[in-house]
């Protein structure tokens, strides 16, 4: 029967679905609140599929190991059938071994009175160390997603510290900003977020990011129209809309006294699921990726958010979108900030 092609061949001599092999997924900062919202989604099949077994590796710093034990107990108590094993550790050599996916959530948060430069310095140290561990212990095919801020520059630091892992395998999260932009448009038009597609976040995951809806479409009364045409409110789209998306993280902190966690975890799940299964036909998403070879005038060797499509776990830039003067200025501004961040980080990198 097997020779008729009913079963894929494997060295066991039995038909075996690829998906019966567990995917080994690391989440860092695993005792934190983003991870607390994320881990259940990974364990219940919403990210890697409903029949994909998972080995979940949880890394945090030594003082957090008590809390992490509590998270481990809760994951066990969820009795999730796809969760083949859960490993909680404070050791990089354990955490990074044989990984298929690394979701780097943990980073040094900005404390009151801290200069951005100090924040960069502390994080260069963390992401250099984790990049080195990826290089040493993970599979070369590992997909690395950086969430911890400053995410773009942390991602570039990790990639530079893991030279034998393709730099295309590294991406950083701007999907939260993308989802925020989608939802602001949907709220304004009284439709669901699902009816809005192809918004773009250009640049840095910071307040210089540029949420761009020049190419976005919305489904209204059964047909797709451009967002500018649907809204007929250019001054809102060029003003309040942009600043709302740029400042949304700060607004959540002000209201909750804590940073975004549920929405961040949902965005991570969206980002990783799209890497794994690809983007829907005719849709693109925003992702911080290496800028080499882009056609939008962004300097090479920056980790910059672009519109991408994904197929076979490989992303490609969306090409040929016309860029108006308003957009050009905003895209250049965020590229300038990223260039400065990179220069500062690399000074520290050589001495870290």
Looking at residue 111, what is its pLDDT? Answer: 76
Q: Which residues of 13-52 are buried (b: 16+ CB within 10 A; e: fewer)?
A: eeeeeeeeebbbbbbbbbbbbbbbbbbebbbebebbeeeb
Return the pLDDT at 118: 85
CA atoms within 13 A on the CB side of 187: 9
Residue 19 pLDDT greater than 70, yes or no: no
CB 217 within 8 A of CB 227: yes
27 — pLDDT class (breaks 50, 70, 90) = very high
Mean pLDDT of all residues in the chain?
93
3-state secondary structure of 312: coil
Tally of residues, the chain:
352
Q: What is the pLDDT of residue 268?
A: 98
Quickly state the pLDDT bin for 185 (edges 50, 70, 90).
Answer: very high
Annotated binding site for NAD(+): 60, 123, 147-149
pLDDT band at 350; cut points 50, 70, 90? confident
Residue 266 belongs to what H/E stretch?
helix 262-277
pLDDT tens for residues 215-263?
A: 999 999 999 999 999 999 999 999 999 999 999 999 999 999 989 999 9
Percent of the chain scoring above 90 in pLDDT: 88
Indicate the DSSP class of residue 291. Answer: -
Q: What CA dihedral angle connects 181, 182, 185 and 191, to 10 degrees?
A: -160
Pair 8, 38: CB distance under 8 Å: no
So what's the pLDDT on residue 116? 77
Annotated catalytic sites, by residue?
A: 205
Flag the least confident range among 66-70, 97-101, 106-110, 143-147.
106-110
Q: What pLDDT is recorded for position 15?
A: 36
Binding residues for substrate are 110, 116, 149, 180
Q: What is the pLDDT of residues 315-334, one digit of tens each?
A: 999 999 999 999 999 999 99
pLDDT tier at 109 (50, 70, 90 boundaries)?
A: confident
pLDDT value for 8: 37
Q: What does DSSP say about strands 196-197 and 217-220: parallel, antiparallel, or unpaired?
A: antiparallel
Name the band, by pLDDT with cuts 50, 70 and 90, for residue 352: low
The Cα angle at residue 99 between residues 94 and 100, in degrees rounded to 5: 165
**How much is the pLDDT for 20?**
79
């Amino acid at each position: 029967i097997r020779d008729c092609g009913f079963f894929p061949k494997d060295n066991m001599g039995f038909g075996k679905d690829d998906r019966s092999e567990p995917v080994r997924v690391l989440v860092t900062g695993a005792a934190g609140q983003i991870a607390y919202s994320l881990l259940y989604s990974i364990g219940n099949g919403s990210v890697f599929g409903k029949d994909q077994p998972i080995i979940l590796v949880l890394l945090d710093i030594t003082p957090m190991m008590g809390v992490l034990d509590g998270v481990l107990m809760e994951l066990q108590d969820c009795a999730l059938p796809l969760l083949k094993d859960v490993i909680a550790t404070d050791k990089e050599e354990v955490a990074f071994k044989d990984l298929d996916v690394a979701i780097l959530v943990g980073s040094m948060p900005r404390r009151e009175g801290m200069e951005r430069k100090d924040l960069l310095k502390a994080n260069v140290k963390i992401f250099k160390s984790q990049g080195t561990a990826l290089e040493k212990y993970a599979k070369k095919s590992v997909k690395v997603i950086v969430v911890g801020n400053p995410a773009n520059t942390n991602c570039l630091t990790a990639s530079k510290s893991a030279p034998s892992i393709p730099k295309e395998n590294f991406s950083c999260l701007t999907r939260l900003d993308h989802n925020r932009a989608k939802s602001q448009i949907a709220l304004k038009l009284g439709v669901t977020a699902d009816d809005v597609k192809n918004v773009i976040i250009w640049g840095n995951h910071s307040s210089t990011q540029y949420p761009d809806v020049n190419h976005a479409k919305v489904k209204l009364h059964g047909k797709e129209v451009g967002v500018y045409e649907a809204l007929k409110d250019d001054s809102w789209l060029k003003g309040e809309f942009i600043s709302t998306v740029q400042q949304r993280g700060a607004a959540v902190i002000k209201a909750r006294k804590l940073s975004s966690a549920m929405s961040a975890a949902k965005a991570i799940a969206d980002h990783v699921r799209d890497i794994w299964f690809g983007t829907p036909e005719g849709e693109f998403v925003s992702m911080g990726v290496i800028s080499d070879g882009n056609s939008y005038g962004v300097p090479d060797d920056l980790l910059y958010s672009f519109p991408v499509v994904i197929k076979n776990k490989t992303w490609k830039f969306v090409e040929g979108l016309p860029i108006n003067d308003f957009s050009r200025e905003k895209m250049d501004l965020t590229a300038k900030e990223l260039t400065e961040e990179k220069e500062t980080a690399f000074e520290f990198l050589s001495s870290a």
